[in-house]
Each structure stands twice: as structure tokens, then as C-alpha cells.
Amino acid sequence: MQRGNDLLRKPGWTESLPLPVIGGRSPVSRIEPLLTHVTRKVATGNSDLFVTRCWSAGDWAHIERQEFGPKANLAGFASSRFDNLHLAPEICDPLVKLAYAKERLTGGEELELSFALLVLMHETSHIWDGGFSAATDSGERSAECWGMQQIRPAARALGASKDYAAELADRFWTEIYPHDQERYRSPECRDGGKLDARPTSHVWP
């Protein structure tokens, strides 16, 4: 029996640690209710999947060191076994500013928000993608492309105007995606390509 128990999957430190549910800006690790709602809404329309966890700076450093090694430098990651999304504090911060303070970030901060939206939806796709990862490209390329195409609806769900959401998506496409590591980029990630999540529309990304 003990040997059998030892073979059972056990949650890691990040999954087993209970966190409070706190909306808005907070320096502590927490489950973020609005970000959780948005990932569910954008990905599935309505689902009990996904819990989005925003981690404090100290806890995030511990997670990186203990679970990914001393050289890890992560923006976020998904745990498909437990349907959890985990986000670094620098990813949660601009999302929270948009969602709760209704701040219209500009310049470099706007680009950081664009990237944060991509991370949120990229990691969401690792848990749920509606079969999108069945495309010919690797999982990371599919996740990056799908996530980029969800920047608009995710931004809108967090309170951005239609024009601002489009601007955020366009900035990622033109200023960040071309400089992504090769394992995240695909020539099929384009309007009409195999990784186009909306093939009947010419709105891109």
C-alpha cells in the first residue's frame, strides 16, 4: 500500500499551498478572482476550469528556485494536472492596473501590459485550447500564437476599450512577436495561416 501511495501523483509546493482569494492590488500571493474569470470566459465561455494564482515576489523567487532550478526566469507557467495558472508579480501587476484601476497604460508600460496579456492567455492555452494544439506546429508555437490572438478579447474582458484592446494586440504582433525565441514563432502564425484561430475573419492578430 505504501509503495502504491508513493506512486500516486502529488501536487507540488505551488499546488498544495492554500492561498487567499484577493481581488485588486496586493503584495501577497493570492488567487486572483477576476483574472480567473477572464481566462475561463475567453477560453471556454463558461467553465469551472482554471484558477489563476498571482504570486508575491518572494514566493515567486522560491518557486523558480525550488521547482525549476537556480537559473529559471519565468513569466508564468501552467499546471495542466491541477488546472492552475501561475503568474509572476510583474505579469499580474499591469493586468490588475487595467482591470481594477482602469489605467490606460502608454509607452513602455503599455508594451508590458501587452506582454502580460499574452502570458495570461498563452498559459491558459496549455490547459485548454479547444483542440488548437492539434495544428502541425509545436505546443509552444501554438500556445504563443493562440495566446496572441486572445489579447483583444482578454483586454476587453478586463475593461479595455475596443480600440485600446486592438492597440495592445497590434503592439505585441509588431514589437514583441518578431523578437520571440524561435521555438515560440511560426510562419503559420498569420492571417490565414494554419495557426489562425479565426480563419473566417481577417482581423489580426
Cβ neighbourhood burial of 192 (10 Å; 0-12, 13-18, 19+): exposed
- Does an H or E element contain 52, and which? strand 51-54
Nearest residue to 76 (alpha-carbon basis) of 97, 95, 90, 93: 90
Query: What integer pLDDT is reported at residue 14 of this predicted model?
Result: 76
Distance, in Å, from the CA atom of 20 to the CA atom of 31, rounded to the nearest integer, reads 6
**Angle of helix 107-127 versus helix 33-44 axis, rounded to 10:** 60
All cell numbers assigned to 73: 526566469
Type of residue found at 117: L
The per-residue pLDDT for range 3-34, each reduced to its tens digit, is 444 444 455 667 777 899 999 999 999 999 99
Neighbours of 175 (CB within 10 A): 12
The per-residue pLDDT for range 128-176, each reduced to its tens digit, is 755 444 444 468 999 999 999 999 999 999 999 999 999 999 999 999 9
For the chain, report the end-to-end CA distance as a whole number of angstroms. Answer: 52
Distance, in Å, from the CA atom of 65 to the CA atom of 72, rounded to the nearest integer, reads 7
H helical segments located in 11-83: 13-16, 33-44, 57-63
